[in-house]
Every structure is written in structure tokens, then in C-alpha cells.
Amino acid sequence: MTVAVRGGTVVDGTGAPPVRADVVVEGERVCAIGPDAGVGADTVIDATGMLVTPGFVDLHTHYDAQLFWDPNASPSPLHGVTTVLGGNCGFSLAPIAPEHVDYISRMMARVEGMPLAALRAGLPWDWSSFGDWLGRLDGRIGVNAGFLVGHSTLRRLVMGDRAVGGVATAGDTDAMEAALHAALAEGALGFSTSQVHTHNDGDGQPVPSRAAGREELERLAGAVREHAGTTVELIVPGCLNGFTEEEIDFLSTMSLLADRPVNWNVLGVSAMNPDGVWSQLAAGTASAARGATVVALTLPHTMQLRLSFEHGAILDGLPGWREVFALPLTERIAAFSDPGTRRRLDAGAQSDEAGILRHLAVWDRLMIEETFAPENADAEGRTVGEVARARGVEPFDALLDVVVADGLRTGLRPPIPESEEDWRLRAETWQDPRAIVGGSDAGAHLDTMCGAVYSTSMLGDGVRARGLLSWEDAVRLLTDVPARLYGLRDRGRLVPGAFADVVVLDPSTIGHGPVRTRDDLPGGASRLYAEAEGIGHVFVNGSEIVHDGDFTGAVPGRVLRSGRDTDTVHAGSDWAESVPE
């Protein structure tokens, strides 16, 4: 059976100029591309006025758990994503032993913002090896998905309670190396780790990987080079604040020992500190001089954070607030209703002890993004200051009045400055070979953001609205570039013989809708979700999984295994050779 996408403009992912052509699919693969190539096809999709592109490849997600209850990895495919990579930041769900399930689930809930109720209700937690875990997804997912082995998970498996803060013995390191070899042989796409101070476990302690010494990390990197089609992903303190010479040496050494590219996350781009951007990217230049490959993941859009008095993430860092957020919901609502408690909390938020979080306490600037109680209908889409003036009360009282009426569910967005110069600097960064578009974190931090919009934001805000780069360049950055970095075989380009991961989009309307709350997770948990605009059809391996904004229910996705579905990308390959001086 053949399917023809006819009359569209093909942007093939290579960076070549768009051409009017039909794309013909037979089985899982593209069989022909050209004018009138689709004449006589069994099924025809009219793509007149549309762009036809390869499926987008999202290198940095945390869909490891969600795919068990949501084979679509929603909402990412609505935004054109056909391949997702998980197991990032040192956190994976395998390999695991039964005695570590509680720790791993609570760690994932804390550090990656996955509701614990969903993890407990939505996963069987009955696997052990990495291959066993991957096998649970075979034939049951709508997208292509591959996964790295997380260092914190490996450490917990081998060291148990000692993994947190403990120094690995020689025997521990040998056992971790053996477990990593086994996982890579069973199809893991590589190794990930985190050394960053913001990553804490369910007990508030540093995640296991943060206790690793350099010798341990280097041993594990060396194991990666023995397995074809693998890679390394990591995050170190300098990723957030600027690299030290020691960290640049570490990044380079990890790449050389693994003989693979190392991608780090995440490069923030702001016109308020352009020198910081180029300083961070210089790590790629320094590494290339040693024959290594170090690539920065960078977001193509402003990551809008959602604050909520229901979960309290970020807000609970204000002085004196954590104790209130520790209360049961009904007691918390009573506390936020009490005038005395309000004054105490406001004073703590305004104090010098609040540090960098003090900027959140400019209450009148908070945007009330989503409300739930009928009496708050007038507040949605307005700032706290506007509501306060309309109601004749102080901003902090207006905020808590709205929050209490909503049962604490109100969605609040802090103002994050954004300028046209920010967008221009982002576009420069997107096209720098030392960086790669990614870092969506889709599937994680479900109560504070919806990173799945990264692709439609880039195309809608960056290309359609601002014209910062051409369609062919933008599509290449979302498809072929990430596919090549991970060596994904026959993906990332629309060419005859490639897997038919195909997106049909409207260049005049492409974008994303507002972020809204959905109560659709296992265990009654909620998440933030955004629809896409302008995505008409999405195919994975020749089968349509999205039709006019809705999932079809098809599950043609492939679990990507190293070596079978990936080619080896060596350190110092064409990536390093194109790094600017």
C-alpha cells in the first residue's frame, strides 16, 4: 500500500532549498520524491500550500515513564516530534532492583517534576535489566524512542544507600562499569550523568551521581566507546554559571575517552549577557583543539515557568514558606486565608534572605495565566496588580484571594524579560555548530512548564513571525542535525529509502497554543499541556499518528537500540571540524 503526500513544498532536512514535490511512502519508508511521483497512490493526502518535512528529533526528553501510560508521548507529536530521546541528566528507570524502586521513583518525582502518584499508579516497576525495560515498550509506542543509562540509577543499583554522598570503592566502580556494559549491549544509546548542585533526590539530598569522583566518571565514559552507536550526555555546574578550565578539560576528556560527542545542557541565551553565551560555546572550540567534540543544547524559545500554590515548587524556597507548603491541602488553604500568616509570608518574601527569589515577590507583576473558580473568571489573563486595583486590595491579598478561591490550583507566570535582541542572539546560537537545538525536557517538570512547544515556538516565533532564518535552515536544525549527532540511522532527512517520519505543516499558521492544566495522569495527577497550531499530519515509520491536531491511536513507533538503529559518531568527526576558531 502506498501513501502519497501530494502538492506540498518539500523541505527535506538537508538545508537544500524547498521544492514542490510529492512524497510517496510504502510501508515504513519513503519510496519516491518528485513532481507527480504520487500519481496512482492508494491513499492521497492533499498538501497544497503546506510544507512537508522530516519528523523532528527531540534529543532531551524525560518520557521514560510517561510512555508506559501514554504511547503517544503527548503532546510532543502534535508539535511535529517523531523521535524522542530519554534517560537524560543521569536519570533512567533501568537497570533496577526491587529494593530501589521507592528511592528511584521519589528521586524522579523530586528532580524531574513527575507526580509521584502517577509514577506509582502508572508503572508496574517489575523489570530489572535495561533490556527487560526496553522490551516493555516494543510494539506499544507511537513515536520512536531511545534511552540513555542514567548514572544515578547505576550508582543506586550497585551501592544502595551508600550511593548518596558515598565514595565508590574499586569494586563499586567495577560493578557500575559492568552494569553499564550490559545496558549498552542491550540497546541503551549511551550514558548520562549530572554533577549540578540543583539536582537533589526525594529526601532533599544530592542525587547519587553528584558524589562521583572524576576517576569513576572517566571509567564509565571509557565503557561507552566499546559499544557502537552510543553517546554521552551530561550537566556540570559550569553549564549554568560558566565553565572553569577544569570543567572544560573534564568535558574534553569525557569525549576523548568515550570517543563520542558529549552534549551538555542547557545553554541559556540572553541579550543581557551575550559574552556569557560565546564564553560557554568556547568550550566547544577548546575541546575541538584536542580532537574532542563538545556540543551545547540550547532552547529555541523562552522557557515560561508556571508557579502554583498547589505544588509550591520554587515558591517554597522563599524564607518561611516551606513550612506552610508542607501542610496538608486543607490546612494550607486555611493558612493562606489567615491575615497574620499572609503578612508573615510577605515579609519573608521581601527580606534579603530571599536572595534571587526576591524578584518573585513583586506580586503585582505576576501574570494570572489560568484560573478555576467561577469568581476568578475576571482575573485570568491579567496581572495581579490589575486584579488588585480592580478589587481595591493590596497585591499580595489579591493574589492569595484568587489562589484560595481556586483551591490553590491557580496558574501563575512570573515575568521573564524577552526582547527582539534576545531572539536575534538565539538565532545566531541555533546556527553555531558548537550548539544544537534541544533541551525541551518534555515529559518532566509537568507542574511548572510544557517544554514540548520548543519546535513550534522556533518555527512560529522564530521563522514565521520574525524571519530570523529560512525554513530550510530551521527544519535542518530540528531534524537532520540532532539525528546526525546521535547517529540515528535513516532518520532526519526526507530522501528515498529513509524511514517515513513525516510532518505536514502550514507555514502561515505554525505555532503553539496556551499552556493549560490537564488532569489526565495516573493516580489523578495533573500536568501542563499545550496544543499545536498549523500541524496537519504527522507520520511515524509510514503510519499517521496525528491527523488535524488529534492522535489517531496508531503505535508504529520503534524502540531505538544502539548499534541496530544508530551509527557510531566519533569524537573529532565533522562536528568538531566545523567548529569556528
HEC assignment per residue over 5-52 = EECCEECCCCCCCCEECEEEEECCEEEEEECCCCCCCCEEEECCCCEE
556 lies in some domain: no
Q: Model confidence over 96-147: pLDDT tens digits?
A: 999 999 999 999 999 999 999 999 999 999 999 999 999 999 999 999 999 9
279 lies in some domain: yes
Burial 510-536 (b: 16+ CB within 10 A, else e): bbbeebebeeebbeebbbbbbbbbbbb
241 and 278 co-located in one domain: yes
Burial label for 116, CB within 10 Å (0-12, 13-18, 19+), is: middle
How many CB atoms lie under 10 A from the CB of residue 375?
A: 11
100 lies in some domain: yes
216 and 102 co-located in one domain: yes
Burial label for 406, CB within 10 Å (0-12, 13-18, 19+), is: buried
278 and 203 co-located in one domain: yes
Is residue 3 within a helix (H) or strand (E), and if so which, with residue range? strand 2-6
Determine the pLDDT at residue 544. Answer: 98
486 and 507 co-located in one domain: no
Determine the pLDDT at residue 545. Answer: 98
457 and 492 co-located in one domain: yes
Give the residues across from 547 on adjacent strands. Answer: 537, 550
160 lies in some domain: yes
310 lies in some domain: no
Determine the pLDDT at residue 180. Answer: 98
Burial 119-139 (b: 16+ CB within 10 A, else e): bbebbebebeebbebbebbee
246 lies in some domain: yes
Global confidence as pTM: 0.95
Work out the end-to-end distance of the chain between its first and last CA atoms, rounded to an integer number of angstroms.
Answer: 51
Total domains, the chain: 3
Burial label for 182, CB within 10 Å (0-12, 13-18, 19+), is: middle
Q: Model confidence over 25-43: pLDDT tens digits?
A: 999 999 999 999 999 999 9
64 and 168 co-located in one domain: yes
Cis peptide before 95 (omega within 30 of 0): yes
Q: Is 527 left (phi over 0), alpha (psi -120 to 50) or beta?
A: beta
Determine the pLDDT at residue 575. Answer: 55
188 and 300 co-located in one domain: yes
Q: What is the mean pLDDT of the chain?
A: 96
517 and 567 co-located in one domain: no
- Tell me which of 388, 413, 438 is where a domain ends: 413
| Residues of the domain holding 397 | 315-413
Give the CATH number, domain containing residue 459. Answer: 3.20.20.140
C-alpha cell belonging to residue 135: 522490551
44 lies in some domain: yes
241 and 120 co-located in one domain: yes
Write out residues in the chain with pLDDT < 50, as ranges: 576-581
161 and 70 co-located in one domain: yes
63 and 158 co-located in one domain: yes
- Tell me which of 395, 413, 431 is where a domain ends: 413
Question: For helices 214-224 and 151-159, what crossing angle results, to 10°?
Answer: 110
Comparing CA positions, the residue from 363, 369, 368 lying closest to residue 345 is 363
- Tell me which of 386, 413, 440 is where a domain ends: 413
Determine the pLDDT at residue 580. Answer: 36
392 and 319 co-located in one domain: yes
540 lies in some domain: yes
Give the SS3 label for residue 273.
coil
489573563: which residue's cell? 381
In angstroms, the Cα distances linking 266 to 79, 89, 170, 236, 296 are 21, 11, 32, 10, 7
Give the CATH number, domain containing residue 18. Answer: 2.30.40.10
